[in-house]
């Protein structure tokens, strides 16, 4: 009787091991945490959090429905900016150990399987709290400032993009230009 019970138990364990192993290999790539991705490109830097922003910026962004999505905050926007089918990040990061931390705006392009490339970086110095991000959906009309005479033009972008705002001063939209194979930016009218 005891041998039959042991044989049955061993048989169940044998059948469950492959099922458990199959559950761990799903064929989907496992993305590393954002902190880990940032550390690859910016050692000694951490993501800026919404709590790091000034009270005025927090008040504005708290009322904005743009951030009612888990992939969007005033400091991190996750979207497929270039249309390759993989999520990219637009992030604000800051130096961890500094009295006057350097802040960086970066777009990290996803290529699947946890692979990323820094598509662009803009170093600001110590502006933390006054700079924030917003998601711009595809085909949303954007009123841009033209260089000639300071006039305005309307622009529609086919892919999601990100707006970078310097509180009370200016906003620029950063978008993927598929023809050029890089990010471009254009100032937005206030």
Using the predicted structure, report yes or no on whether residue 139 has a pLDDT greater than 90. yes
Q: What percent of the chain lies above the pLDDT cut of 90?
A: 59
CB 91, CB 103: distance < 8 Å: no
| Ranges assigned E (strand) in the chain | 45-47, 76-79, 88-95, 103-110, 116-125, 131-136, 142-145, 152-155, 161-166, 170-177, 182-188
Using the predicted structure, report yes or no on whether residue 83 has a pLDDT greater than 90. yes
The pTM assigned to this predicted structure is 0.80
- Minimum mean pLDDT range among 10-19, 50-59, 63-72: 10-19
Using the predicted structure, report yes or no on whether residue 124 has a pLDDT greater than 70. yes
């Amino acid at each position: 009787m005891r041998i039959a019970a042991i044989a049955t138990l061993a048989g169940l364990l044998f059948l469950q091991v492959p099922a458990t192993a199959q559950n761990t290999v799903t064929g989907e790539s496992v993305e590393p945490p954002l902190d880990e991705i940032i550390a690859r490109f910016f050692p000694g830097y951490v993501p800026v959090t919404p709590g790091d922003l000034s009270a005025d910026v927090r008040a504005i962004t708290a009322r904005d429905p743009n951030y009612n999505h888990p992939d969007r905050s005033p400091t991190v926007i996750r979207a497929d900016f270039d249309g390759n089918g993989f999520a990219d990040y637009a992030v604000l990061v800051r130096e961890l150990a500094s009295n006057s931390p350097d802040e960086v705006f970066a777009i990290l392009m996803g290529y699947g399987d946890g692979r990323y490339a820094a598509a662009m970086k803009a170093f600001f110095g110590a502006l933390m709290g006054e700079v924030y991000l917003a998601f711009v959906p595809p085909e949303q009309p954007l009123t841009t400032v033209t260089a000639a005479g300071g006039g305005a033009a309307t622009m529609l972008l086919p892919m999601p993009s990100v707006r970078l705002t310097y509180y009370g001063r200016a906003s620029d939209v950063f978008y993927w230009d598929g023809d050029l194979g890089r990010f471009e930016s254009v100032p937005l009218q206030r």
